[in-house]
Amino acid sequence: MMTKTSMMMKKYLLFHRIKQPLRILFKKKKWTTRNENISIIQEGKSDNSSTSGTTEKKYETPEPEASSKETSEPLAADEDGSPGNDIESTSNTLPQVDPENTTEQKKSVSFDFQKFLKQFKNKQCEPVHRYLKSFLIQFAQKNWSVDEQTKLVKDFQIFIFGKLISYPPFNQMTEDDEFDNCKEGLEKLIMSRIYNQVFAPAIPERKITPSHKEDLKKDKKFYENVRLFDWITLKHLDVPIKIDPESTFLKLASNELTKINDYKSPRDKIICLLNCCKVIFGLIRQQKKQHKLEENADSFVPILIYVILQAKPKYLPTNVSYIERFRSSEFLIGETSYYVI
């Protein structure tokens, strides 16, 4: 029979098994979102493991064949697996932030996917439509490994952006925000079209590669650990707050976290994560005087772990890996400011 001490030691060791997959969220990486309602940078170390050892194979894009009878239709707004507009912010349901205490205000313009689609559908962009169609056909012809997919997609995004800005109306852009909107639109358009080939849980079983199977194994292990430790409370995490499992806070944070599987673009998935973080920081602000909480990682990380244990989100490790692989690096690194006020 196990002694009480040995049982507690076993629980302690098991609990630490769940922390490893979580570290991917908090490595020394600085995340920002180009959304005026959400501005957060998370501390942590950048993980370049998804691109290390990348294959030397490179996608060669053939010149598009001119055709007066057939052109490839760009993705319609309701075909990309996400809302036509940006994900709605939960700011109306969160504790209000005093703007006078804000250390840095982001003034970036929100991403407008509908505007991009309207521009992209311009008939003068038909050569670019054919480039995109050619890429999608060739990309689907082989079961690429994770590293191959990452390199092919990044190479094609660079190539297609260079082509796109040479055609009207994109060749008339002059502002940085316009170029950013174009890059964001291309990323969302491309990733929505190939999502079922690159996101392991969505790939048909017959097309799963060994590297994608590794993603699924990590998801399974993570989910098992989450279920093992759903008995953990904030007291176990040294957080002096009691949260009712039916509380509005927990529902809000959990809903934002589980929404991540409803969207296909890396940007939309990031916003789901950041909205969850925003809810948590809202709670910390609400409780900091009563419980002497500090708005820092020491307060934030334990509450996030608790939210994850309660929400039990599926495919969280794969979602984070997907973001790291396919989100443009220039949108993952931004101003060095914190969401914490």
- pLDDT of 72 > 90? The answer is no
Q: Which pLDDT score, from 0 to 100, does residue 98 have?
A: 33
pLDDT band at 9 (very low <50, low <70, confident <90, very high): low
The rounded radius of gyration (Å) of the Cα atoms in the chain is 22
- pLDDT of 267 > 60? The answer is yes
Q: What percent of the chain has pLDDT over 90?
A: 47
Q: What percent of the chain has pLDDT over 70?
A: 65
HEC letters along the chain? CCCHHHHHHHHHHHHHHHHHHHHHHHCECCCCCCECCECCCCCCECCCCCCCCCCCCCCCCCCCCCCCCCCCCCCCHHHCCCCCCCCCCCHHHCCCCCHHHCCCCCCCCCCCHHHHHHHHCCHHHHHHHHHHHHHHHHHCCCCCCHHHHHHHHHHHHHHHHHHHCCCCCHHHCCCHHHHHHHHHHHHHHHHHHHHHHHCHHHCCHHHCCHHHHHHHHHHHHHHHHHHHCCCCCCCCCCCCCCCCCCCHHHHHHHHHHHHHHHCCCHHHHHHHHHHHHHHHHHHHHHHHHHHCCCCCHHHHHHHHHHHHHHHCCCCHHHHHHHHHHHCCHHHHCCCCCCCCC
> Is residue 185 a contact partner of residue 116, using CB atoms and an 8 Å limit?
yes
pLDDT band at 221 (very low <50, low <70, confident <90, very high): very high
pLDDT band at 57 (very low <50, low <70, confident <90, very high): very low
* Mean pLDDT of all residues in 269-290: 88
pLDDT band at 55 (very low <50, low <70, confident <90, very high): very low
Q: Which pLDDT score, from 0 to 100, does residue 18 have?
A: 53
pLDDT band at 290 (very low <50, low <70, confident <90, very high): confident
Q: Which pLDDT score, from 0 to 100, does residue 341 have?
A: 25
Per the prediction, the chain carries an average pLDDT of: 74
Window from 18-32, 63-77, 129-143, 317-331 with minimum mean pLDDT: 63-77
- Per the model's pLDDT, the better-predicted residue between 222 and 239 turns out to be 222
All domains of the chain in start order, with CATH? 23-332 (1.20.1050.80)
pLDDT band at 79 (very low <50, low <70, confident <90, very high): very low
Window from 18-27, 59-68, 267-276 with minimum mean pLDDT: 59-68
- pLDDT of 202 > 60? The answer is yes
Give the Å distances, CA to CA, from 293 to 87, 101, 191, 241.
30, 17, 40, 9
Q: Which pLDDT score, from 0 to 100, does residue 220 have?
A: 96
pLDDT band at 73 (very low <50, low <70, confident <90, very high): very low
- pLDDT of 151 > 90? The answer is yes
- pLDDT of 205 > 50? The answer is yes
- pLDDT of 114 > 90? The answer is yes
* Mean pLDDT of all residues in 23-30: 43
